[in-house]
Structure 1
Amino acid sequence: MAKFDSEYSSSSSSSSSSSLLVLLLLSSGFLHNVLGGQVKVDVGLILDKDTIVGKITKTSMDMALEDFYATHLNFTTRLVLHPRDSKTDIVEAASAVIDLLKNVRVQAILGPQSSTEAEFVINIGNKTQVPIISLATSPSLSTKENPYFIRAAPIASAQIGALVSIIKAFSWRQIVLIYEDNSYGRGILPHLIDALLLINTQVRYRSVISLSATDDYILRELYKLQTMQTRVFVVHMLLPLASRLFLKVKEVGMMRQGYVWIITDAITSLLDSKDPTHIEAMQGVIGVKTYVPRSKKLDKFKKRWRTRFIQENPDIEYECELNIYGLWAYSSVKLLAMAMEKAQISKPKFWKPNTNGENWTDLDVIGALEMGPMLLQSIRNMRFNDLSGEFNLVDGELQSSTFQIVNVIGKRDWEVGFWTKKYGISKHLMPDKDSYTTYKDDLIKPIIWPGESYVVPKGWEMTTTEKRLRVGFPVDNTFSGFIEMEKDPQTNAVIAIGFCVDVFKEVMDHLLPYAIQYEFIPFVTPGANITRSYDNLVYQIALDKFDVVVGDITIRANRFKFVDFTMPFTESGVAMIVPIKDDESKNAWIFMKPLTMDMWLIIGALFIFIGFVVWVLEHRVNKEFRGPPHQQVGMIFWFSFSTLVFSHREKVVNNLSRFVLAVWVFVVLIVTSSYTASLTSMLTVQKLQPTITDINDLIKNGDYVGYAEGSFVGELLKSMGFNHSKIKTYNLQKYNEALSKGSKNGGVAAIVDEIPYLRIFLSKYCSKYVMVGPTHASEGFGFAFAKGSPLVPDVSRGILSLKEGENMNKITAKWFSQEKDCIDQNDIMVTFGSLTVESFKGLFLIASVSSLFALIVFISNFLYENKTILASNCSIREKAGMMVKSFDKQKDGSFDGCKKNQLP
C-alpha cells in the first residue's frame, strides 16, 4: 500500500508537471504552431477586398492552399493566411503590415496588389527582412534596389515591345498618352517614350488623370484632346479609373471611326471581369495582355474557381471570369509554400537593434526576421510549371516574353495576333520566320476599329476647331520663278506664286487622301546671306509661328534638328556652268584632234617598223623590193602607208610577210574606224564641249570661280581646296557677265551652284554655257514641316506621284519656259577627248610582237641556210691550198677564216 501510494504520489507529481508544461506551451503559443506533426507558418495577406481584383485574388489564394497541400501531404510546414483589408489606401496598407508583423509575427507578406500601396510596404519589408510577394508591376519598384521585394507578375515595361510594335505596324507617327497620376501610371513613361523615339514616333501630349478626378474633369480633358490632330491614344491606368474614362470617351463621341485606342495589360487582362456596360464603351479598342497557354487542367480549375467565386461573392451582378492576376496569385501561394518547406522555417525569431529603447519606432520594436535572408534565397530564383504556364522567377522578378494582341468586339476581347521578343508580331507562337518583324499583315485577322470600321485609321485628322495650316514663305533673297509674293489688287491680300507654290498646291489639293486647309504667310528674310536667312525661316517652325515652310528651301542636315523635310521635289546636287568652247569644226587642223600626239607618234613609228619588216622579209625573194637605195627606202614608207586603203601594187610572196600584214591590217582597221568615229563626233557635236570638265582643273589652273551670294556653296568650295581669294560671289543676273569676262579678265572660269538655279540660268543662255556635274551631292528643295508632323509621309508620297506624272512637266514649263533647242542641249551633257595610247596599247603590242616574231624566224632560217653554203666553200678552198704551196700566207688567213665558219 505504501508502495502504491508512493507510485501514485510520483504519478501525481508527474501528472502535475505535465499539466504545467502543457500550460506553459499553450501560453507560449507553441501548440498553436505545431499541431499534428506540421509547423504552422503565419503569412500576412494584404487585399483591397472591395475591388474585383481583391475578390479574385482571395478566392485564388484560398484554393491554392487547398490544392497544394492536398498533393503535398508530406510537407512539414503549412501556411496560415492572415488577410487584411487595405481599403485601397496607402496608410491603411502600411498599418495592416505593421499590425501583422507586430502582433501576428508573420514571416512573409502576400500583397498588396497595387504599386502605390506596395511602395510603402516594400520599405517595411526591407527593414524587417520579411519577404513581400506582390503583384505590383510598376517599373519604379525595383527588385534590385529592394532585395525583399518579390514581383510575382511581369514588370509593366515588359509589354512596351508589343505596344510599340503595334504602333510601328500601322505607321502612326504621333500618339497621346493617357495615364494615371501615381507611381504605377508614371513608372512606364520613360521606357515607353524611349522606345517610341526609336521608331520615330512622337508623344504629342500627355494627359494625366488622378484617381480622385471628377467626371467633369475627365470630360474637360477629353474635349481638349478632341481639338488636337492626333487620334492615337495609349491608355495606361488601373481598371477603376479606366472604366470611368471609356464611358466618358463614348459619351463625347471619341469612340468613332478615325480614332485609335490602345490599352495596356492592366486593363486588357481584366476585361473578362468588367461590367458589360463598360465593355460596350470600348468597342474597337486594341490591347495587349500576357499569353496563357490553354490546357485541360486550366479549364477544370476555371470551372471549380467560378463555382467557388460565386458562392463567396453572391452580390456581384455580372459574370466574372478568372484572369491572369488570379492565376499569378494562385502561383504565388505555391511559390511561398515551397520556399517555406525548403528553408524549414519553424518558430519566428526577430532580433532587435542594440539600443536603449528610448527612441524606438514600431519597426524597431518588431526587429528583423532572423530566417529572412534564408527564406529570400529560397524564393528569388524559383521555377515551376503551373496553371499560367511557366512560372519563372529570375532575381525575384517573374519573367514574361509572350503577349497576345486582342481586339475588343462585342462582349469580349478577340485574339488577333501574338508578340514575342524573338519574332515580333506573328500569327502563331512558332512562326515560319527567322527575324523580328512588325507587319500588320502578320496579324491573324483584320482589326475592327472604333465605329465598326475595317479601314486603318491614319492616326490624325484636321479638326474643325483647329486653325488652318500656317504656310510660311520667303519674300526676299529668292530667285525669280521659284517663289514670289503678289498682292490681290481688290482685297490687298498676300498671294504666294511660283514654281514651289504650284507644286505645294498640287500635292495638298489633289494628291492627299484628305482635305487640308491652309493659308500662306510671308516672312521677310533680311540680309545678304541666303543660307542664314533661310535657316532663320525654317527655325520659325520650331518657334510654332509656322506649321510648314514652302520655297526654294534646300534640305540640309543642320535644319533637320528643328524640322522634318519631305522628299525633294527638284533635282538634287551642286554642279557648275562653264563656257562652251569655240566651234572648232572649221579649224584647219581639226583632223588632228581625234588622236593625241603620243598616238600619232606611235602610229607613225609602227608604220615605219612594219614597212621595214616587210622589206626585210621580201627583199631576197621578191624582185619588186629591189633597186637603188633611195627606191628601197621609198618602198618601205609606201608599202606601210598604203595599208590604210588596203591596196598594194606590189605583191608579197613570203608567208611571214603575209602573217605580218594580216595582223597589221587588223590593227589599221580598228584604228581607222575609231579615228573616223571620233572625227565625225567632233565635227557634228563639238559645240557642246565645255572649256572645263573637272572642277579640280580650276584649282590646278588657279582660275577664279563664282557662286550665289550668301549660299552654302561658298563653304563647300573652301572645303574642296579653293583659295579664298579665288572665290567670288554674284547674284543670278550677274552670272553671264562674270562668265563672259573669263578668269583672266576680272570674271570667273565657272559658276558653282545648285542645279535648280543653274537650270534657270541656262534657259536663257544655253547657246553660250553648259552645265558640268553634279560635282557634289545635295538633297535639293523640300517642304519643311514641324518635327514629327504626320503630314510628312503623305506629302512625300504626293510629291513622288507628281514627279512620275505629266503635271510636274507642265508646272516646270509654266515657270521656266525654254526653247526646244535649249532643252535638248542641256539634257545632252557630252564631252569629247582625243583617243589615247591606253585604249590601243593591246593592239600595238600584238602588231609589234608578231612583226618581231616574223623577223626572228626569218633571220634564223637565213643563218641556217648560209651555214651549209659556208661549210661547202671552205672544203673546196682547203683542197686548193694543198695543191698550191706558194700561197701559204693566203692559205693561213683564208683557211683560218673557214675554220672559224666566217663568210667568204
Structure 2
Amino acid sequence: MKTFLLHLFFLIALALKPEGINGVKRVIGAISDCNTRVGKEERVAMDMAIQDFNMQQNQTSILLRLKCSQRKPLQSALAARHLINKNKAQVILGPRSWEETSTVAEVSEHYDVPILSFADSSPPWAAEHWPFLVQAAASTYTQMKAVANIIQSWGWRLVNVIYEDTDSAANGISPYLYGALQEVDVQISNLLPLPSFTDSFLLHEKLKKLKKEQCRVFVVHTSLALATRIFRMAKEMKMMENESVWITTDSITSSVHSINFSLVSSMQGVVGVRNSFLDTRPDFHSFSTRFFGIFGRKYPEEKHHEPGIFALQAYDAVWTVGLAMNESRQQQRQATFGKYSENKFQRIKWEYPVYEAKIRACDSISDHQYNWREL
C-alpha cells in the first residue's frame, strides 16, 4: 500500500499543470460502465467521496467528471480524451477491464496524465510500458495464490479452469494462476475459455464434456453475468453435487451481494476468494448507511442497496487523489515527493486484508439472504 501511495503522489505532482497547482481548477476524471451494478456503486461512492472531501478539507473544491464507457475500449479511449481536453482532468480513475485500461493508458500517456486503474488483471509489463499507469486493484497473483492454497489444502492435484475469453481474464490465468498452481504441484486438467455471450447450447456442450472427465474440481474466473449462467446450467446438469468442488475468483465473489436469491441459490456450496474489508468498524457502518440511502434513491430498480468492495475502492481512490492534488497545490513538486517518500500518508479509509486472510464459502442461503462462512 505504501509503495502504491508513493507512486501515485509522485505521478500527480509531476502531472499537475500550473493552473492545477495554483488551485484555479482541479478535476478528477472517471471512466466507468455506468449501466452495471459495479458502475452504479462506483458512481455513488465517488460522488460521496467528493462531497466528504470538499467539506472536510476546507480548500478549493475538487471536481469530479464521470464518463460512461459501456465497457467498450474505443468508448473508453474517447472518454479519456474528452475528460482531458474538455474537462481538463488531471487524473483519470478507472476503468476495470484491461481491454479498456490499455486504450485509456495510450491516451493518458500522450497527455502525461496519470491513470489510476481498477483493473484486477494486467500483464506484468504494463507498469514499465506506461509509467503513468498505477494499479489500484489488489494483486492478481495474490488472489490466484489463494485459489491454489484452497486446492492444495484439500489434497487435490487436478483442476478444471473455466474463464471468460477476454484479455482481462486471460491475464489472470497466465501467468498468475499457472504460476500459483505450479508452486503447489497442481496441474490443469482442462482449460475452458468461454465467450462473454456464449449461447446456451454451446455452454451445455462444453459443460457436458467436462462432466465426462474424472476431475471434479472447477475454478471459475469470469464476469458475474457469465458465472450465473454457468452455475445455473451446472446445477441443472447435476454437476454441483457433493463430489464436486467449485471455486470462484474475486470478480464473482465480490459481486454476489448484488444478485437476487434465485441466482444465488444456484451457487450454494461454492467456495470463493475475495478481497475483504473490515465491515465492523463504526466508520464503515456510517458509510454503509449513507450509501444504502443514496443508492436506493438513485437506483430504485436495484433490489439490494448495500455497498461492496468496488464502492469502497472508488471512495478511497477519490480521497487518495484529492489529497495528492492538495499537497501538489500547496507545495513545490519536489517537496511533495520528499514528504511522501517518508510514508506520512494517513488518509485511507479502509484497509483491505490480503486474499489469503478472507477465503469464504457461500453455505447458508434463505429466502431473503445469503451468508459467507470464513474457512
TM-score (norm 1): 0.37
**Does structure 1 retain, via aligned residues, the 8 Å contact 2:316–2:348?**
yes
1:112 to 95, 120, 141: 95
Gaps of 5+ in 1: 1-32, 347-370, 391-398, 418-904
- Alignment of 1:321 onto 2:306: yes
Distance 1:310 1:372, change over 3 A: farther
CA offset at residue 402 of structure 1? 5.0
Q: CA deviation at 1:84?
A: 0.8
Larger gyration radius, structure 1 or structure 2 = 1
* 2:150 paired residue number: 166
Does residue 12 of structure 2 align to residue 58 of structure 1? no
Question: Could you say which residue in structure 1 is the equivalent of 2:79?
Answer: 96
Give the Cα separation in 2 of the matches to 1:237 and 1:382: 38
- 2-structure distance, mates of 1:382, 1:164: 35
Match of 1:232 in 2: 217
Let me know the Cα RMSD of the aligned residues. 2.7
Q: Is the Cα–Cα contact under 8 Å of residues 116 and 183 in structure 1 kept in the other structure?
A: yes
Q: How big is the shift at 1:374?
A: 9.7
Aligned equivalents of 1:247 and 1:156: distance in 2? 27
1:49 equivalent to 2:34? Answer: yes
Q: 1:376 to 1:122 in 2, by over 3 A?
A: farther
Match of 1:246 among 228, 231, 245: 231
The 1:373/1:83 distance shift into structure 2, 3 A limit, reads: farther
CA shift in 2, pair 1:375/1:251, >3 Å: farther
Task: Output aligned runs, 1:804-883, within 5 Å.
Answer: none
- Tell me the residue number matched to 1:895: none
* AA partner of residue 83 (structure 1): L
Are residues 194 and 232 of structure 1, via their aligned partners in 2, closer, same or farther at CA, if it must alter by over 3 Å?
Answer: same
Q: Name the counterpart of 1:406.
A: 360
Distance 1:63 1:322 in 2: 12
* 1:233 Cα deviation from its structure 2 partner: 0.3
Q: Give the Cα–Cα distance (whole angstroms) in 2 for the partners of residues 400 and 375 of structure 1.
A: 29
CA 385–105 in structure 1, closer or farther in 2 if over 3 Å, else same: closer
1:290 alignment partner, SS class = coil
Matched, 1:303 2:289: yes
* Equivalent residue, structure 1, for 2:243: 258
Instruction: Report if aligned partners of 2:50, 2:64 keep a CA contact under 8 Å in 1.
Output: no
Kindly indicate whether the alpha-carbon contact (under 8 Å) linking 1:44 and 1:106 is maintained by their aligned counterparts in 2: yes
Tell me if structure 1 keeps the 8 A contact 2:96–2:120: no
CA distance in structure 2 between the aligned counterparts of 1:149 and 1:248, rounded to whole angstroms: 39
Question: Structure 1 residue 384: deviation in Å?
Answer: 3.4
Listed as ranges, the matches of 1:298-697 within 5 Å are 298-316=284-302, 318-344=303-329, 383-389=345-351, 400=354, 402-409=356-363, 410=365, 411-417=369-375
Deviation at 1:315, TM superposition (A): 1.8
Distance 1:122 1:306, change over 3 A: same
**Can you give the 5+ residue segments of structure 2 that lack an aligned partner in the other structure?**
1-18
Which secondary structure state, in structure 2, belongs to the residue aligned with residue 140 of structure 1?
coil
The residue number in structure 1 matching 2:161 is 177
Aligned equivalents of 1:264 and 1:289: distance in 2?
7
CA distance, structure 2, for counterparts of residue 153 and residue 384 of structure 1? 19
Whether the 8 Å contact between 1:335 and 1:379 is mirrored in structure 2 is no
User: Contact between 1:43 and 1:81, CA under 8 Å: does it hold in 2?
Assistant: yes
SS at 2:284 equivalent? helix
Distance 1:373 1:85 in 2: 35
Residue identity opposite 1:91 in structure 2: L
Contact 1:131 1:376 in 2 (8 A): no
Contact persistence 1:84–1:96 (CA under 8 A) = yes
Cα deviation, residue 375, structure 1? 8.8
CA deviation map 1:799-821 (0-9, x unaligned): xxxxxxxxxxxxxxxxxxxxxxx
Distance (whole Å) between structure 2 residues aligned to residue 373 and residue 211 of structure 1 = 46
CA positional deviation for 1:241: 1.7
- Residue of 114, 117, 127 corresponding to 1:143: 127
- 1:247-286 counterparts in 2 under 5 A? 247-286=232-271
Distance in 2, matches of 1:315 and 1:258, equals 38
Q: Decide whether the 8 Å contact of 1:340 with 1:375 is kept in 2.
A: no
Residue type of the partner of 2:373?
E
- Distance in 1 between residues matched to 2:210 and 2:181, nearest whole Å: 20
Whole-angstrom distance in 1 between the partners of 2:181 and 2:151: 9
**Equivalent residue for 1:440?**
none
Q: Which residue of 2 aligns with 1:632?
A: none
C-alpha separation between the residues in 2 aligned to 1:343 and 1:66?
A: 20
Cα distance in 2, alignment partners of residues 246 and 97 from structure 1: 36
The whole-number CA distance in structure 2 between the counterparts of 1:101 and 1:183 is: 26
CA contact (8 A) 1:406 1:413 kept: no
Shift of the 202–321 alpha-carbon distance from structure 1 to 2, 3 Å rule, reads: same
Provide, for residues 152-203 of structure 1, a one-character-per-residue CA deviation record: whole Å limited to 9, x for no partner. Answer: 2212221122111111110011000111111211112222222222322110
Counterpart in 2 of 1:193? 178
Give, in angstroms, the shift of residue 385 of structure 1. Answer: 4.8
SS in 2 for 1:314: coil
Moved more, 276-285 or 142-151: 142-151
Q: Deviations over 1:182-225 (max 9, x none)?
A: 12111122222222223221100100011132222211111111
Partner Cα distance (1:118, 1:192) in 2: 21
Q: Give the superposition deviation at 1:105.
A: 2.2
CA 313–319 in structure 1, closer or farther in 2 if over 3 Å, else same: same
Paired residues, number: 348
Q: Which amino acid aligns with 1:119?
A: S
CA contact (8 A) 2:141 2:180 kept: no
Look up the equivalent residue of 2:64 and give its one-letter code.
L
Work out whether residues 139 and 155 of structure 1, in 8 Å CA contact, stay in contact via their aligned partners in 2.
no
Distance in 2 (CA, whole Å) between partners of 1:379 and 1:334 is 15
* Residues 769-824 of structure 1 deviation map (CA, whole Å, 9 limit, x = unaligned): xxxxxxxxxxxxxxxxxxxxxxxxxxxxxxxxxxxxxxxxxxxxxxxxxxxxxxxx
Q: CA deviation at 1:39?
A: 3.5
Higher RCO structure, 1 or 2 (CA under 8 Å, sep 6+): 2
Q: Which residue of 1 aligns with 2:8?
A: none
The answer to whether the 8 Å contact 2:275/2:309 transfers is yes
Aligned partner of 2:290: which letter?
Answer: R
| 1:260 CA displacement | 0.5
- Of the candidates 100, 108, 115, which is equivalent to residue 125 of structure 1? 108
Structure 1 residues 250 and 104 mapped into 2: Cα distance closer, same or farther (>3 Å)? same
| Structure 2 CA distance for partners of 1:40 and 1:308, relative to 1, 3 Å | same
Identical residues among aligned pairs (%)? 29
